[in-house]
Chain A
Amino acid sequence: EPEVTQTPSHQVTQMGQEVILRCVPISNHLYFYWYRQILGQKVEFLVSFYNNEISEKSEIFDDQFSVERPDGSNFTLKIRSTKLEDSAMYFCASNGGQEKTQYFGPGTRLLVL
């Protein structure tokens, strides 16, 4: 069964460093999403991406964040200069075509020190 994959599973970084989180969505999906979950809190929407551009973004998704689909399979989230409060689990999801259900990857746990 197709699934969304994410790498790395865990990342530790120093405050101010850049991080890139990677996702491989399900191959025939057209819509891609990033969510984050701060420890103990609910899942929050960050950004959605369709047809090679951002379709919607939340207030959290400020200028420090960017997304890219560099090739036909990967979907990345970049944080340019990480802050302590960026520590969270980041989930990638995808859907599209006949499928409205969003399927989630296993997440990347980011820890900013």
Chain B
Amino acid sequence: AQSVTQPDIHITVSEGASLELRCNYSYGATPYLFWYVQSPGQGLQLLLKYFSGDTLVQGIKGFEAEFKRSQSSFNLRKPSVHWSDAAEYFCAYSGGYNKLIFGAGTRLAVHP
């Protein structure tokens, strides 16, 4: 079955530290992959996406993600976390013009 796994439910990092949020997917073909961020009580904001081509994609707010087909992964990274990055992060994929399948999310806390 198609699925997205985000193994880390909660992650806490210190401000200025690096961050990596993990995402694994299960899908037969090459998916379209996304990372969205959700601040408390807010909607979903697109951070970045991967459709094809260069496997390292850059997004907004200094985030990047790397698609690794061999590992079925699309991990999100940021070299230096800011307190304003505290939020919930969702990995998702789709097959194109159809539904998004979301992971369970990773809640990020940032310590000063």
Contacts and interface: CB of A to CB of B under 8 A. Distances in A.
Real binding pair: yes
Interface of A: 30-31, 33, 35, 41-45, 48, 50, 55-56, 58, 91, 93, 95-96, 100-107
Interface of B: 32, 34, 36, 42-46, 49, 51, 90, 92, 94, 96-105
A43 B49 CA distance: 18
Contact of B51 (A31, A48, A100): A100
A101 B104 CA distance: 20
Given A91-B44, A105-B43, A106-B42, A43 B94 contact: no
Given A43-B44, A43-B90, A91-B44, A100 B32 contact: yes
Given A91-B43, A104-B43, A107-B43, A43 B98 contact: no
Contacts of B105: 42
Given A42-B90, A42-B102, A42-B104, A96 B44 contact: no
Contacts of B96: 100
Given A96-B97, A101-B34, A102-B94, A44 B43 contact: no
